[in-house]
Amino acid sequence: MSRIRGRKPERQQVRIGAPDRALTANAGLAAVSELCGRLGVIGALDAAVGPVKQRDRGFGAGELLTGIAAAQLAGEDFLTGLDRQRADAAGQQITPVPGLASTTAAGLARRITPAQWQAVEAGLAVVTGRMLSLLPAERAAALAEGPVTIDLDTTDVEVYGRKKRGVAYNHQGQRAGRPHVASWAETEIVLAADLGDGTDDPRATAPDLLRRALAALPQRARASGRVALRADAGYFAGQLARAAHDEHISFAIGAKRIAPLWRLLAGIADDAWHDAIGMDNAQVAVAEYCPDWWPANTRLLIRRVLLDPEQVSAGPRSRRRRTLHPDQRALPIPELAGAGAIYAYSFILTNLDVSAPDKAIAAEHWYRHRTSIENLFRDSKLGAALRHLPSGYPQVNMAWMSGRRRARRPEVPRHGASGPHRAVHHLQRQQRQGRHPQRDRADPHHRQPGAGPASGPARPQPRALGRHRGHPLHQGCRPERGLLPGARTRRSPLHGHCR
């Protein structure tokens, strides 16, 4: 049409000048502040942790962790990012904790005792309960009264400072810290966590971590009687199984491929194997096996997957080759191809009801989804704050990890998310991908909190750059038809600040 009418398309002009202090790239923090206010996050943490200083002034534990989490949501992955956020005059008016400096945060974190770190979990449990009360009744009942799964796992966070405390060299030769996490799988909420070094064995602290995770569950979820534990072979120990049995919950724990388990395979008939759910060439069987000091109702669940010879690496330390039967594991590839069927085996010890084939198949399928906690670790590391530990002090790194838990944890579960919660995660995803979200336009007639008296000098207000409707906070706002970007919009009932 422009050619027919003889018009030239108008080009947008790029203007270069001094930065405008009334602009902020972190307008999405308005949603974070609103969410923290509705859930009473800071008050719940302060009430659980108690005072961290002798004088009742300045920042408390709740403001410390909330401020770190807000900075991480804004894309910061170093403690100095708190100073960058502090220098953003417009952004400070919409952040949940304005004025938090990196030196202040580090000093406060070093004051928090180990008992107070565990009290943080009690404060977040209160926040989780408030979150459930804000959800629709059907969704809240599905989460609290339905199956509740607790996943245990660890991850290594590599560091490079040779003088950093609380870290050690792991088996890969990396100097690392090791977060130990218990999460609520259905909501991806971290219930309890510890921070150790690269040599810590998670089996030693797993029972205590499980008890703390159960205490952090909402009362309705804990009383439902449908709580279950999942853990990989790194937790192959009777101590964790007994702890789960004492707490009257089900468990499924991966077993290491030891000689007694390989010998059991010879006694399993061919008709005892049944096809698995959603996995090609996979079969499931049950064997009577209960290690010493494990609960008496423990059974062994076995999964085997048929492999082609080209799917097996020739390397003796290959991860897949280690899942083969010992008689086939040492064979070269040409001899392995002629050795008959090649199966990769996995072993799971559980007290679930696997008496019938369909129940065994369902239990194996449920256990296979244990990898959801690995997605949680991946999201926390990939371009995000948990890709390193920023301080030489373990207490500061614990605060950093706890802030990342709060920045990552969906206070509203992902399946029941709406409104500001989706905006927060959209903003978080854009920051990880290296993109800058669209800016927000604040009402020039509305004074932001802390803007000072009307007679004083006006503080800069965050304004918009680019299209208004593209911002994640304004998914419910539609610009008037025919208006230019950034023009007046129709007000959404969820976004009363839009004009």
Is 177:198 a contact under the CB 8 Å cutoff?
yes
User: Does 467 have pLDDT greater than 50?
Assistant: no
- Could you tell me which residue, 54 or 14, shows the higher pLDDT? 54
Look at residue 147 in the predicted model and tell me its pLDDT. 92
User: Does 418 have pLDDT greater than 60?
Assistant: no
Over range 146-158, report the average pLDDT.
Answer: 94
Rounded CA gap, 106 and 68, in Å?
A: 10
Query: Taking Cα atoms as reference points, which of 78, 242, 72, 231 lies closest to residue 154?
Result: 231
Phi and psi (nearest 5°) for 490?
-70, 140
Which residues, 6+ apart, have CB-to-CB distance to 282 below 8 Å?
A: 275, 276, 303, 304, 305, 306
Phi and psi (nearest 5°) for 148?
-120, 120
Question: Parallel, antiparallel, or unpaired: how do β-strands 250-255 and 227-231 relate?
Answer: parallel
Angle (CA) 445-447-451 rounded to 5° is 145
Is 95:26 a contact under the CB 8 Å cutoff?
yes
User: Does 463 have pLDDT greater than 50?
Assistant: no
Over range 350-376, report the average pLDDT.
Answer: 94
Of the ranges 38-42, 64-68, 395-399, 413-417, which one carries the lowest mean pLDDT score?
Answer: 413-417
Task: For 327-354, give the secondary structure using H, E and C.
Answer: HHHCCCHHHHHCCCCEEEEEEEEECCCC
Of the ranges 47-56, 120-129, 300-309, 336-345, which one carries the lowest mean pLDDT score?
Answer: 336-345
What does the block give as tokens for 262?
Answer: 């390989």
Place of tokens 């090791």: 178
Question: Parallel, antiparallel, or unpaired: how do β-strands 299-307 and 342-350 relate?
Answer: antiparallel
What does the block give as tokens for 205?
Answer: 């602290």
Look at residue 384 in the predicted model and tell me its pLDDT. 76
Look at residue 472 in the predicted model and tell me its pLDDT. 35
Look at residue 43 in the predicted model and tell me its pLDDT. 95
151 alpha-carbon distance from chain centroid: 12
160 pLDDT tier (thresholds 50, 70, 90): confident
Look at residue 491 in the predicted model and tell me its pLDDT. 35
Kindly report, residue by residue over 205-214, the tens digit of the pLDDT: 999 999 999 9
User: Does 123 have pLDDT greater than 50?
Assistant: yes
What Rg, from alpha-carbon coordinates, does the chain have? 27
240 pLDDT tier (thresholds 50, 70, 90): very high
What does the block give as tokens for 492?
Answer: 């959404």
The string over 425-446, giving b where at least 16 C-beta atoms fall within 10 Å of a residue's C-beta and e elsewhere, is bbbbebbeeeeebbbbbbeeee
Of the ranges 4-13, 58-67, 243-252, 338-347, which one carries the lowest mean pLDDT score?
Answer: 4-13
Among 137-146, 201-210, 328-337, top mean pLDDT goes to: 201-210
Look at residue 495 in the predicted model and tell me its pLDDT. 36
Of the ranges 228-232, 266-270, 316-320, 448-452, which one carries the lowest mean pLDDT score?
Answer: 448-452
First vs last C-alpha separation in the chain: 32
298 alpha-carbon distance from chain centroid: 31
Of the ranges 175-179, 377-381, 410-414, which one carries the lowest mean pLDDT score?
Answer: 410-414
**pTM, rounded to two decimals:** 0.77
Of the ranges 56-65, 182-191, 221-230, 476-485, which one carries the lowest mean pLDDT score?
Answer: 476-485
Look at residue 406 in the predicted model and tell me its pLDDT. 66
| Maximal C-alpha separation, the chain | 88
CA atoms within 13 A on the CB side of 383: 11
What does the block give as tokens for 297?
Answer: 């109702």
Rounded CA gap, 113 and 154, in Å?
A: 23
User: Does 437 have pLDDT greater than 50?
Assistant: no
Query: Taking Cα atoms as reference points, which of 23, 32, 20, 54 lies closest to residue 98?
Result: 32
